[in-house]
Amino acid sequence: MAKKLWEKNIDVNPEIERFTVGRDRELDLLLARYDILGSIAHSTMLESIGMLTTEEMTELHDELRNIYSTVEEGTFIIEEGVEDVHSQVELILTRKLGDTGKKIHSGRSRNDQVLVDLKLFTRNELKGVCEGVKSLFDALIEQSDWHRDVLMPGYTHLQVAMPSSFGLWFGAYAESLADDMLFLQAAYKMCNRNPLGSAAGYGSSFPLNRTMTTELLGFDSMNYNVVYAQMGRGKCEKNVAYALASVAGTLAKLAFDACMFNSQNFGFVKLPAECTTGSSIMPHKKNPDVFELLRAKCNRLQALPNDILLIMNNLPVGYFRDLQIIKELFLPAFESINDCLQMATYIIRRIEVNKEIFDDSRYDAMFSVEEVNRLAAEGMPFRDAYKKVGLDIEAGTFTPNKAIRHTHEGSIGNLCNKEITALMENIYNNIEFGKAEEAERALLKR
């Protein structure tokens, strides 16, 4: 069994090891490629300050890129008895390169290693989430434009209220995603700062060039204060979790609407047949299971910031092993939100809308406000018009005029979809994914 990086002359109790390592071996596989990128950048910097020879750096880089290839191929493993990905990479380097492999940890700690790994992982995953949000946004805007003139009931208190439209309904969720993208942009910017070189949280007596590693890894800047860099563990994940929760909130609300509007009591939309499931006893059933599961998954994602907060909330300055547990909550969240975005986009592109909802007389009363406004525009005081129409409804003499003439910005007749799209494009295009991708490609170039 491999020795721990910190182990000296006392063997670790197996039960203690099981408890303290937890799921690190499993979850750290998600961080492996980023640990290697961080090590390439760190060893480049060590060579520049004389801690490695050029030959040693070249040997390390060649072997690190070989390890990276095994990660890409899916053959990289964290061996039994090895605590984490950092230990595994260093173990491989030492086996292959001897003393040269042992030098790579100069000037860093596993504390700043995992910080940089998490940040590199997170910014890459945020890119995927942003792309998923943008795809769903495009689908919603497309449906909004196609159905801009198809009316549907609007509700307050789950009571029939005023006329709405499918153009408004689809477009409302699109604009909500534009606001969510602002959270994602902020999360990316806060994440994209370099903690490497903070070591265990108090820096190093080696003359580290943190500006160099910042540039090599494609970060916008560094976490300057080394103590704050360590304080960022948990805070970064919490901030990103708030952004994911914002997206999840939009999706959960959309899912609830879709489930309700798909039911026979409403009949406003029809979900694609391949996206519904049946009953083992009721042959007529077509259940909206995808949206129900999506709703549950997104509700759970909305709890993520609070879960992280409860782990880190009462910790003083410095590193504590409590923070390890955050990985178990945080890393899988990206797969979950991406699955939900993919499913929602698939269904929204194929959903069918009912164009004859208002043929049903039960919705006639919702045109009462249109009549009140017509009378008020002709000169009748609004409150008198309101009373007259109300009495007509009670007497059963109200006849609705279903010709809707809303023209103001954001209304049925003026959806402002071009403006909403411009808002989204401006936010999305100002998240600089390219810089990070270019930096990572350069590090891997042989």
Token look-up 């782990």 returns: 311
Are 129 and 215 in contact by the 8 Å Cβ rule? The answer is: no
Residue 46 domain flag: yes
Same domain, 313 and 231: yes
Q: What is the pLDDT of residue 26?
A: 84
Query: What pLDDT digit, counting tens, does each position of 383-427 carry?
Result: 999 999 999 999 999 999 888 889 999 999 999 999 999 999 999
- Domain with 161, as residue range(s), is 110-207+227-358
3-state secondary structure of 195: coil
**Whether the Cβ atoms of residue 201 and residue 319 lie closer than 8 Å to each other:** yes
Non-local CB neighbours of 19 within 8 Å, separated by 6+ positions: none
Report yes or no on 99 lying in a domain: yes
For residues 149 and 188, membership in a common domain is answered with yes
Mean pLDDT of the chain: 93
Please identify every stretch of the chain with a pLDDT value under 50, giving residue numbers as ranges: 1, 6
Cα separation of 86 and 78, whole Å?
Answer: 10
| Position 92, amino acid | I
pLDDT in tens, 171-200: 999 999 999 999 999 999 999 999 999 999
Same domain? For 200 and 330 the reply is yes
DSSP code, position 287: B
Q: 77 and 200: one domain?
A: no
Boundary of a domain, candidates 297, 330, 358: 358
Q: Residues 5-54: pLDDT tens digits?
A: 545 556 666 777 666 666 778 899 999 999 999 999 999 999 999 999 99
Identify whether 417 is part of a domain.
no
Q: Is the residue at 134 inside a domain?
A: yes
Question: Are 26 and 98 in the same domain?
Answer: yes
Tell whether 197 and 261 lie within a shared domain.
yes
Nearest to 112 by CA among 53, 8, 34, 169: 34
Which of the listed residues 335, 358, 381 is the one where a domain comes to its end?
358
Residues 139 and 260 in one domain: yes
Structure tokens at 86: 């950092």
Distance of CA 14 to the CA centre of its chain: 37
Domain boundary among 105, 126, 145: 105
pLDDT at 6: 43
The verdict on 158 and 276 lying in the same domain is: yes
Within this chain, do residues 164 and 250 fall inside the same structural domain, yes or no? yes
Q: β-strands 193-194, 221-222: how paired?
A: parallel
Do 306 and 158 have their domain in common?
yes
**Do 101 and 114 fall within a single domain?**
no
**Count of structural domains within the chain:** 2
- Helices within 155-225 (DSSP H only): 166-191, 210-216
Residue 131 shares a structural domain with residue 69? no
Residue 267 covered by a domain = yes
Is 58 inside any structural domain? yes
